[in-house]
Amino acid sequence: MRTIKKGREPPSLREHRNSGGRYETYTRTDDVRDALLRDQGHICCYCMRRIALRSMKIEHWASQSEHADSTVDWTNLLGACPGGAGEPRAKQHCDTYRGKTPLTVNPLDRSQQCERLIRYLSNGEMRSQDRAIQRDIHETLNLNNEQLQRNRGAVLSALLDRLKRVEPRPGPWPSDMLERELEAWRRPNKEGQLREYCQVAIYLLEKKLKRKA
C-alpha cells in the first residue's frame, strides 16, 4: 500500500455533485476510472495489483451506506481491483472482502503516510506495529491471503536476484546502485503505469539505503 496523490477531479463528477446528484445517478463513471488510474499508476489502492478500465472497482474509502453525503466526493474515491469477486471467501481481498467495515489505514491521507506504517517480510507478509492498521491488513482487507503474500514474496525474491546479478561481489551493495533501482521502482512507465507491488520493492531498497546512511 502507498500514499496516493490526488490529481484533478473529473469535471463531470464535480458538476454532478454541485447539481445535488448522488453516486447512484452518476453515469460517467469512466471519467472517474480514468482519473483514478492516472493518479494510482494503474495499480490497486490496497494490494497494488494491476488494474485497468474494465477490470477495476470504484472504491469509497468511507462506505456509501454509512456516509451517503460523501459518495461523490473526489477525495473519498479510490481505484480497487476486483478483489476475487465470485471466489471463495478466503481468496477474496481488498474492497470485495472488506464490505462496509470501516478502515483506519487511508491511502488518501498524506499526513498518515501509510507506507511508513507498513513493512514487508521476506515471505511477502504485510505487517504493521499499529494494531488498528494490522487489523485492517489482516482481517478487514485480507491482504495476507495466500496468493497476495506469494506474489509479494516473488517480487522481493526477484529483486534480490537482480541485485546479486548486477553486483555479484561479496559485501554491501553500492548506494548508487540501490538508488538507481529505487528510482526505477518509483517511476511510472511511458503509459503512466507503476510496477505491480512496487511498494514492496521500495520498502526493501529504502531499508537497505538507511542501513548504509
Residue 171: predicted pLDDT:
75
pTM of the model: 0.95
In tens, the pLDDT along 111-126 reads 999 999 999 999 999 9
- The three three-digit cell numbers of residue 12, written as one number: 463531470
In tens, the pLDDT along 138-176 reads 999 999 999 999 999 999 999 999 999 988 877 789 999
Q: Which regions in the chain score pLDDT beneath 50?
A: none
Residue 212: predicted pLDDT:
76
- The three three-digit cell numbers of residue 17, written as one number: 455533485
Residue 210: predicted pLDDT:
92
Q: Spell out the domain ranges in the chain.
A: 148-212
Residue 213: predicted pLDDT:
63
Residue 69: predicted pLDDT:
86
- Given the C-alpha cell 529504502, which residue does it identify? 206
